[in-house]
Structure 1
Amino acid sequence: MAIQKLQDLSVTEKSSWKSHHPEAGYTKEARILDGDIVHTWAQADHDIELDFMDADLLKLVLSETGLVNKKFHVIFDLNHVTDISYSYKKAITELLFHWQPFLGLVCFFNVCPSMSVIVDSFAAVAPDNFCVLQTETYQDAVKKALAFKANDALSENGENEAASEHSEFKRRFLGAVARMSWLNILDYPIPVPAPDSQYYHFFQAIDALRSDFKAKETEKENEIKQIHQDYETRITQTIIKMNAQAEVGKKSIHEFEAQLATLRARVAAQDMELTRVATAISEKTNALRNLLDQIHSLDIDTDVKRKMTDECLKLLETETIEKRLNIELTETDSIFLSKLQKKHTNLNQRELRISLLVKLNYDTVEIARSVGISTRGMESIRYRMHKKLGLGKHESIKTYLSDFSTAY
């Protein structure tokens, strides 16, 4: 930290005491004069609008110079500053209120005409123990700060009574406007001068405006309350609806579970039936093979033995088909499937079983349930079977199989 003397006034500067505002086109800089005077300015080569206050920069300067919780003063160079954003005005006003009792004098200099009334408004809205003023030059601002530190009077001398009265009413008026606009203070009473005062109508108008703002604020609060109530009502209705849907969902789940239990029971029954059929087929097959062995061992006429053997082989073929289709067949069914398989060798086992069930007049739902597929899947299989059987567009599978059974 470099400290140097400038006309018997110490100056403390640091390269880090800067804040860049690229969008607004300026850089905020600061330094310390005489140990406790913060000199700040916006470095720019063109007219600018201050976009937001650099509170962090001020805190950094105070922290690195040991001025935290100690009395300090600010002189603000407004060269090139032609306007201040609304948020900046609020921040300056809040600074005046929230930094007491440590903030002493605030002096603006190089103030352009468009900024003068804003600076006057800062002075008007500041608490009574603050001193906010404006000067023309840097030298004047430093003198004012040093004089304030020495407890010298800073009031303007030579004002006549009329000018003093005008300044006072101007301060009151600007203070009322600033409190309403920047601090949203609508309950602060506005002292209206006597009716015969030339300023009476101005203050009466601003007080009426304050009342309107307050009424509008109340109306806005009521609207917010109504919106909140409507929102709560909607939430309640939504919760009720969701609970009702949840109950319906629970009921649907129970129904689904019941259907699932029914299907499981049906599947279990079918599994038992398939097991029974498979066992019966296996027993029949073993019995036929034993019978066939016994026929081979008989010492009988060759033609008789051959006829008996052929019948056994036919029965074994039937058992083989039953085993593949997991279904017990009558002799007629066995003959039908055997002939169908020989004529249409491209039919698979499921299609053979479906063909038999179609011939036996089972409907689509029953067939789908029997072979373990959906109704839509059954329609797809029917389409493929129609092609495999070589049927025309308007020919029926059921009619074809019925005629086939009769013909053979």
Structure 2
Amino acid sequence: MNTTTPNAMAMGACALAAALACTGLAGCGKATEAAQPQAQLRHLDDGSIEVNKMAPLRQRLQVEPVLEREIATETEAPGSIEAMPEKLVRITPPVAGRITHLQRSLGDSVKAGDALFTLDSAELSAAYAEHGKAGSALLQARQELQRQKTLFEAEIAARKDYEAAQASYDQASSDAQASADKLAQYGAGAGARGSRRDYVLRSPIAGTVIAMDGAQGGYWNDINAPVMTVADLSTVWLSANVAEKDLAQVAVGQAARIKVDAWPGKSFDGKVAYVGAVLDAETRTVKVRVAIDNRAGAFKPGMFARAAFTGASRRAIVVPASALLQGGLDTRVMVERTALHFVPKVVQVGASHDGQVEIVSGLRPGERIVVKEGVLLND
């Protein structure tokens, strides 16, 4: 038989409701606490950073030890291909005249001494005539000198007559030599046969005709303008503009790697032949000429090119470029102090190559640094 009074039942119901309410409130409190996000990073007073062990960020960070290895500084510079000045000759005729025959055309190969073109020149004819007159005057002066010498030795002629004949002979000899030298300068011998109006200009070097400015039948009266240009392109120069700050990395005899736009994906070998003695004040660069073997004919004067100069190898600390963080004027890396505990360090960087950067100061071999996603710690 149930003896519970109505009052007791009401009190029990109230107690149960209160208990359930407390239980519900406690559950809500735990749910609210669990729903609050925890910070992934904690910045400490000493400037270091701690990563929460439960934070997703810890899975993205990649930490590796700092290594020291052999590196060689590589300096790159733009430039262009040029014919070697000592192997390029602009053929200018020393006399005016009409071009009667072109023995060579654009692109022809020539040897030293090969005929290039022929001029019909009145100047050359006048030079031959002058030489002939000088020769006749010399012959007459020689005969007069012999006559006066004989008379003087026989005490028939006066000394002054003999001395005058000697002076005339010396003058005639000098004039004859001058006229012969003029013909030699023209490249025409004093004893040349054939027409004395035809001037044949010959190539002074072996090479290729790379420019043609004259035409057969045209009159050429500018002795300072070239009729054609001959160049030996078996060896060419890459004239590179090396920045002032990189000049210490370049020296005569140093190997160079050359790339040209005409041959993408290919590189060619060269050697530094000359380092300029004067710095361009406007561009702050120095001309460096690299000699390139061009017997295959791959390089054409005027091509744009790039040269890479590799210096001597040395031991240095290098890190991936992704490990560097820029903050204001300083470059930093994140160094691991303990697990998930990092401290930023300022470093001085040097040369870079193939995604690796030299660290001049600020790190020691063996230190562990963040090499990937370190920027997330820097935010």
User: TM range, normalised to the smaller chain?
Assistant: under 0.3
| TM-score, with length taken from structure 2 | 0.17
Q: Which has the higher helix share?
A: 1
Q: Could you say which structure has the larger radius of gyration?
A: 1
Q: Which has the higher strand share?
A: 2
| TM-score, with length taken from structure 1 | 0.16
The higher-RCO structure (CA 8 Å, 6+ apart) is 2
